[in-house]
Amino acid sequence: MKKLRDYTGKSLQDCTILELYNAALELTQDACKDKGYNSGKKKVYYISAEFLIGKLLSNNLINLGIYDEVKAELAEAGKDITDLEEFEYEPSLGNGGLGRLAACFIDSLATLGLPADGVGLAYHCGLFKQSFEDNKQHARPDYWRKWGMANWMRRTDRHYKVQCGDLELVSTMYEIDVTGYGSKCGRLRLFDLDTVNERLIGSGIDFDKEEIEKNLTLFLYPDDSDEAGRMLRVYQEYFMVSNAAQLIIDECVERGSDLHDLADYAAIQINDTHPSLVIPELVRILAEKGIEEEEAYQIVTDVCAYTNHTILAEALETWPKHFFKAVVPHLMPIIKRMNDAVKAKYSDPSVQIIDGNGNVHMAHLDIHYSHSVNGVARLHTEILKNTELNNFYKLYPEKFNNKTNGITFRRWVVECNPELTELISEKIGEGWKTDAKQLEQLLSYAEDPAFLQCIVNRKNTEKKKFADWLYKYQGDKVDPESVYDVQIKRLHEYKRQQLNLLWAIDCYLHIKDGYRPRRPITVFFGAKAAPAYVIAKDIIHAILAFGKIVNNDPDVSPYLKVIMLRNYNVSMAEKLIPASDISEQISLASKEASGTGNMKFMLNGAVTLGTMDGANVEIAELVGEDNIFTFGQSSEEVIERYKRGDYVSKDWYKKNKRLQAAVDFLVSDEMEEAGDKKLLKQLYEELLKQDWFMTFPDFESYCKAKEKALAAYEDRMGWAKKMAVNIAKAGYFSSDRTIEQYNKDIWHLEKDC
Ligand code: NBG
């Protein structure tokens, strides 16, 4: 095994951080080459618009089994590996849970020895970088590839032609190695266009949306508030899947496929609807290669499987026919014929691919022409079957299945919480890192005061570390003795950061009235709002303005602080989750497909405060009611209420004085002084006139549940037991388990190990 010293050409002592970093990177890449890649006759291609992979160095060193050696070699030279970790810049290739799930999945695929590629786009700036000015979110481009991170991406000499109307684009494929834990590697294959020009970006994240050759891969989810922006998304999606389809066909032919038997060589997982056009694109290519279109439909159906990640209408993409006529005119006749085939079989207009208004429904295309349709948590899959996609479920009951999400334990505890990892391994050995069920053995220590004291001590150390880091990062001072109450996730009304905010306002008003919480509380928010999502930005604004008031009020701040974290990302989650006490998972029941943050918190000994939504339901079942705090309307009640259409937020406001006071505070003099009157009013009105995600009916039960959690926290040993049970029961949520299930039920790949 080579050492860092072999790559630096001089003593490590004399190296700059950059030189050390590059040496570690080369060492990693060589180690991957030595290990080789999982291979086999059949391979899964996991196509996704996002891969939120996080920093790579430490994760790779851990997976390759050389972290300790590298750390020791650096230490001998008086260097600290954490300086390299801090120096590393996080890739910007994803947005939220969907992309992080894809990243956890490729880790598990590699670890389990399954032949697999992640396939996506090599965005230049990915998701925007968030800053706060005047208590408002500002978006700037995240030039992550400029920061040495691009070195992780190998340029290959694979190029494909992608025809978009009159425009002929030529792609370049890049590769990032995906290390498996103690196994061979996998690959992430990302496509780009050499002509893309970052200089096209003007102020903030504005750019000329018409110049496709120059802008195609600049950003993930470019602003879609106008037609040009929406059209650009279609270009991106088609570029991604046309490359994927050509790659898949080429590779399968190389492995011996005659294309009629493509399903013996490839499985394609369509991650949400962004890659759906791979279906007609494959049909097109197969037909070009001489396969009858009817047969091509069957081949594609046998190859493709679709994962649904949301029931929110806005995320179930539909595109007007004229977009496709402009961007993919050669696919439109195929989509039309595929729709005709559907129409010939099923008369129900609601299941057609192209509706009466000429809109193409991507999910419908996926369901008809995939052999598997899965939801991402049990409740979510049931809602798909019985409500949202019921008309399809009636046609194809055999296609529907559930695959409850998971997370890779290598990143989400081994890497981010080494002290807890060590403690667990001291008690139950190392086996749990690849066989997560073994974590249950910890249950036998759930009554052991010495063990419980240890986990509390470790949590306290993490809290102190986070407080120190936070002060350096954004100048906020928090009390490590306070309860860390944490909500970190994309900003969306259905996730209900506004409910948490209303609670914090209520708490503030009580403190002003003389009430003293038993212990100080720090409420952390971390979230980016899509730049075109006005109310989401208003919620950020309200949190920031309120934070100013609370944190600067000497009567209040010793008891309550409200912190909005700037530019929340994977690296920050890795620091904060190990330090968290309460995990806020408070979406409106039925709306959060699964959630995966909830699993990360649990694994790190935070206790969930949540609604019975998404994977929270399964968490509750596993840990039992003593080890979770649940509240709020049930998904059935919510679905019923939507059906009746009789929710009037003002009625709830009128009958609850506490709620009234909290809501009114949004437009109080104090808030208007700290913030922007217009934006605050906009949020206030939204809540009073609409509140589409039913915050008000859950307010009272949320306050009660939070009060119960805070009271329980004071019984330190009782709380530690809850922590222990949560950690012990987290094994089910390993993405290794999820991937094993995908493979057993959908892909049927052979392991290369
Ligand atoms: C998200 C859901 C989460 C879920 C992740 C991963 C989208 C469209 N969906 O609940 O909101 O955990 O997908 O499945 O980002």
At residue 314 the predicted structure's pLDDT band, cuts being 50, 70 and 90, is: confident
Measured CA to CA, the distance from residue 214 to residue 113 in angstroms comes to: 38
- For residue 593 and ligand 1, the question of a CB distance below 6 A is answered with yes
Q: Which residues participate in catalysis according to the annotation?
A: 309, 489-490, 495, 596, 600
Query: How far apart are the CA of 101 and the centre of ligand 1, in A?
Result: 8
At residue 316 the predicted structure's pLDDT band, cuts being 50, 70 and 90, is: confident
Of ligand 1's listed atoms, the one at least distance from the Cα of 587 is 10
At residue 313 the predicted structure's pLDDT band, cuts being 50, 70 and 90, is: confident
- Window from 30-39, 312-321, 600-609 with minimum mean pLDDT: 312-321
- For residue 50 and ligand 1, the question of a CB distance below 6 A is answered with no
- For residue 310 and ligand 1, the question of a CB distance below 6 A is answered with yes
Q: Looking up tokens 């899964």, which residue turns up?
A: 44
Query: How far apart are the CA of 616 and the centre of ligand 1, in A?
Result: 13
At residue 148 the predicted structure's pLDDT band, cuts being 50, 70 and 90, is: low
Q: Looking up tokens 């992430």, which residue turns up?
A: 188
Of ligand 1's listed atoms, the one at least distance from the Cα of 592 is 10
Query: How far apart are the CA of 272 and the centre of ligand 1, in A?
Result: 9
Ligand 1, atom 12, residue with closest C-alpha:
595
Give 530-577 pLDDT, tens digit per residue. 999 999 999 999 999 999 999 999 999 999 999 999 999 999 999 999
Pocket of ligand 1, candidates 221, 309, 378, 583: which has the most ligand atoms within 8 Å of its Cβ, to mutate? 309
Query: How far apart are the CA of 275 and the centre of ligand 1, in A?
Result: 15
Give 682-695 pLDDT, tens digit per residue. 999 999 999 999 99
Q: Looking up tokens 């039309």, which residue turns up?
A: 336
- For residue 272 and ligand 1, the question of a CB distance below 6 A is answered with yes
3-state DSSP helix/strand/coil % of the chain, to nearest 5: 55, 15, 30
- For residue 315 and ligand 1, the question of a CB distance below 6 A is answered with yes
Pocket of ligand 1, candidates 594, 598, 599, 739: which has the most ligand atoms within 8 Å of its Cβ, to mutate? 594
Of ligand 1's listed atoms, the one at least distance from the Cα of 614 is 10
H helix runs in 493-554, sequence order: 497-512, 534-551
Signed CA dihedral, 532, 536, 539, 545: sign only: negative
- For residue 99 and ligand 1, the question of a CB distance below 6 A is answered with no
Query: How far apart are the CA of 295 and the centre of ligand 1, in A?
Result: 34
Q: What is the 3-state secondary structure (H, E, C) of 638-669?
A: HHHHHHHCCCCHHHHHHHCHHHHHHHHHCCCH
Dihedral of the alpha carbons of 496, 137, 508, 655, in degrees to the nearest 10: -40
- For residue 103 and ligand 1, the question of a CB distance below 6 A is answered with no
- For residue 186 and ligand 1, the question of a CB distance below 6 A is answered with no
Measured CA to CA, the distance from residue 168 to residue 724 in angstroms comes to: 57
- For residue 126 and ligand 1, the question of a CB distance below 6 A is answered with no
pTM over 0.95: yes
- For residue 363 and ligand 1, the question of a CB distance below 6 A is answered with no
Query: How far apart are the CA of 23 and the centre of ligand 1, in A?
Result: 36
Give 177-220 pLDDT, tens digit per residue. 999 999 999 999 999 999 999 999 998 999 999 999 999 999 99
Measured CA to CA, the distance from residue 47 to residue 244 in angstroms comes to: 8
- What percent of the chain stands above pLDDT 90? 97
Distance, first Cα to last Cα, the chain: 21
Task: Provide the 10 A C-beta neighbour count for residue 394.
Answer: 12
- For residue 54 and ligand 1, the question of a CB distance below 6 A is answered with no
Measured CA to CA, the distance from residue 111 to residue 409 in angstroms comes to: 11
For residue 753, what pLDDT is reported? 79
Pocket of ligand 1, candidates 48, 95, 98, 373: which has the most ligand atoms within 8 Å of its Cβ, to mutate? 98
Average pLDDT over residues 68-75: 97
- What percent of the chain stands above pLDDT 70? 99
pLDDT beyond 80 at 46: yes
Residue type, 525: F
Query: How far apart are the CA of 240 and the centre of ligand 1, in A?
Result: 20
Q: What is the 3-state secondary structure (H, E, C) of 32-51?
A: HHHHCECCCCCEEEEECCCC
Measured CA to CA, the distance from residue 261 to residue 309 in angstroms comes to: 29
- For residue 376 and ligand 1, the question of a CB distance below 6 A is answered with yes
- For residue 308 and ligand 1, the question of a CB distance below 6 A is answered with no
For residue 570, what pLDDT is reported? 98
Query: How far apart are the CA of 94 and the centre of ligand 1, in A?
Result: 12
Query: How far apart are the CA of 379 and the centre of ligand 1, in A?
Result: 13
Task: Provide the 10 A C-beta neighbour count for residue 730.
Answer: 29
- For residue 180 and ligand 1, the question of a CB distance below 6 A is answered with no
Average pLDDT over residues 654-679: 98
Signed CA dihedral, 498, 500, 501, 503: sign only: positive
- For residue 592 and ligand 1, the question of a CB distance below 6 A is answered with yes
Closest CA to 598 of 608, 588, 590, 589: 608
Tokens for 546, please give them.
């309120």
pLDDT beyond 80 at 118: yes
At residue 417 the predicted structure's pLDDT band, cuts being 50, 70 and 90, is: very high
Closest CA to 89 of 35, 151, 43, 36: 151
Give 333-361 pLDDT, tens digit per residue. 999 999 999 999 999 999 999 999 999 99
Query: How far apart are the CA of 490 and the centre of ligand 1, in A?
Result: 10
Cα 408 off chain centre by: 13
pLDDT beyond 90 at 147: no
Pocket of ligand 1, candidates 314, 376, 528: which has the most ligand atoms within 8 Å of its Cβ, to mutate? 376
- For residue 141 and ligand 1, the question of a CB distance below 6 A is answered with no
Give 216-261 pLDDT, tens digit per residue. 999 999 988 899 999 999 999 999 999 999 999 999 999 999 999 9
Ligand 1, atom 15, residue with closest C-alpha:
98
pLDDT beyond 70 at 75: yes
Q: C-alpha angle 199/127/532, rounded to 5°?
A: 95
Closest CA to 29 of 69, 56, 68: 56
- Window from 92-106, 302-316, 412-426 with minimum mean pLDDT: 302-316
Q: What is Dmax (Cα atoms) for the chain?
A: 80
For residue 268, what pLDDT is reported? 99
- Window from 207-211, 268-272, 302-306, 601-605 with minimum mean pLDDT: 207-211
- For residue 309 and ligand 1, the question of a CB distance below 6 A is answered with yes
Residues 597, 640 contacting (CB under 8 angstroms): no
Of ligand 1's listed atoms, the one at least distance from the Cα of 315 is 8
Ligand 1, atom 9, residue with closest C-alpha:
309
Residues 321, 280 contacting (CB under 8 angstroms): no
For residue 624, what pLDDT is reported? 98
Query: How far apart are the CA of 592 and the centre of ligand 1, in A?
Result: 7
Measured CA to CA, the distance from residue 678 to residue 660 in angstroms comes to: 20
Q: C-alpha angle 397/402/404, rounded to 5°?
A: 170
At residue 324 the predicted structure's pLDDT band, cuts being 50, 70 and 90, is: very high
Give 620-646 pLDDT, tens digit per residue. 999 999 999 999 999 999 999 999 999
Query: How far apart are the CA of 98 and the centre of ligand 1, in A?
Result: 5
For residue 149, what pLDDT is reported? 64
- Window from 1-5, 317-321, 722-726 with minimum mean pLDDT: 1-5
